[in-house]
Amino acid sequence: MSRLLVKGAWRTDADGAVALAGQRAEAGQFRSVIGGVEFPAEPLRYHLFVSYACPFAHRTLIARALKSLDDLVPISVVHPRWNTDDGWQFGDTPLSTPDRSGEGFTHLHQAYTASRPDLTARVTVPVLWDTLTRQIVNNESLDIVRMFDDAFNAVKRSEISLVPLGDRAEADVLAARIATDLSIAVYKAGGAPSQTAFDEVLDRIFSMLDELEDRLSDGRVYLMGSDLRLPDIVAFTPLVRFDAVYNPLFRISRRRLVDYPRLSSYVRRIWEIPAVRETVRFDHILAHYHDGDWGVADRTIIPPLPEVDFRSTGER
């Protein structure tokens, strides 16, 4: 059974067909942008609902930090243990905050139904909320990252550009490929319905990791050169979770991140940026995945043997 909104009603017993319909509509339910007449860029007008545990919400936290928007776009943090009857919850706890948007929400699904009373959808983070019109502006993480990159430049100047105009086409293509073959693919592996499906998606994941490792072989600092760009954010959030979560829990165990020397150094290099490091909360991440309901879909699926050569000589 799944937890989702069905025609505006929160359901904890939705059957597979309804859950699938909600999942197909999961991303992009709300796709408005800041910067136009309806949603002008104004300090403190917009509020970000996030989870530090979620790699997609993590993208927006990194962009917000790098662009120094902390004082322009406040946040509220949902509790990482989401497998409750009411889904994502706000609260004054060591791992969450109350809703600070002024609405007094206790659960994230309330923001969705306040915006669209008859909605059928899964309730996901991140959510960019407009406190003036009291509705969701956008719940697609890459849209929000792009808005944070340029929508507030007239309000607060920044030397950092995550998607500069001259690199936009290349950055968008690379970010989309990483999102498909890594960020989303790890969940397809965890939820694979068959051995064949699992093996296929595992090949895609490790092909992408091999490609990223090779891309860094020329000594470049980041994926597109000397400056951190959108694809780096998209790659970093699953990579920083890989050995702690996806490798053991989703059985993506052919190789670990630490088996990729260039990628490991690359992730460490991004983590060492102070603004980024403050957004990496392993207490949230581990509680979300290892104390939640992220069990693999099919217990009969057999993961590959890790690529370890026990015949190599070494200390005895």
Domain ranges of the chain: 2-150, 165-290
pLDDT value at position 114?
A: 97
Query: Is pLDDT above 70 for 272?
Result: yes
Segment 102-125 mean pLDDT: 96
- Whether residue 248 is preceded by a cis peptide bond, meaning omega within 30 degrees of 0, is no
Q: Place 315 in a pLDDT band, splitting at 50, 70 and 90.
A: low
Residue 16 predicted with pLDDT over 50: no
Q: Give me the mean pLDDT over the 112-135 stretch.
A: 96
Would you say the pTM of this structure is higher than 0.75?
A: yes
Residue keyed to tokens 């300090």: 43
Whether the pLDDT of residue 23 is over 50: the answer is no
Radius of gyration from C-alpha coordinates of the chain: 20
pLDDT of residue 228: 98
- Active-site annotation, residues: 54, 187
At 28, is the pLDDT very low, low, confident or very high (cuts 50, 70, 90)? Answer: low
- Rounded Cα gap, residues 176 and 192, in angstroms: 21
Query: In this predicted model, what pLDDT tens digit does every residue of 210-259 receive, in sequence order?
Result: 999 999 999 999 999 999 999 999 999 999 999 999 999 999 999 999 99
Fold of 2-150: Glutaredoxin (3.40.30)
- The answer to whether residue 51 scores a pLDDT higher than 90 is yes
Q: How far apart are CA 269 and CA 272, in angstroms?
A: 5
Of 136, 14, 131, 15, the C-alpha closest to 73 is: 131
pLDDT of residue 148 exceeding 80, the answer is yes
Cβ atoms of residues 79 and 93 within 8 Å: yes
pLDDT digits (tens, 9 = 90+) for 155-193: 998 999 999 999 999 999 999 999 999 999 999 999 999
DSSP 212: H
Q: pLDDT tens digits for 199-208?
A: 999 999 999 9
Work out the average pLDDT over 35-55.
97
Q: Of 38, 39, 298, give the one whose Cα is nearest residue 189.
A: 298
Looking at every residue in the chain, the average pLDDT score rounds to: 91
Alpha helices (runs of H) in the chain, residue ranges in sequence order? 16-24, 55-66, 109-115, 141-150, 168-178, 185-190, 195-215, 230-241, 247-249, 261-271, 274-277, 282-290
- The pLDDT score that the predictor gives to residue 3 is 84
Class assignment of domain 165-290?
A: mainly alpha
- Residue 305: band (very low, low, confident or very high) from pLDDT cuts 50, 70, 90: confident
Instruction: Report which of 144, 105, 113 is spatially closest to residue 127, judged by C-alpha positions.
Output: 144
Tokens of 173: 């293509």
Q: Which residue has the tokens 């309730």?
A: 123
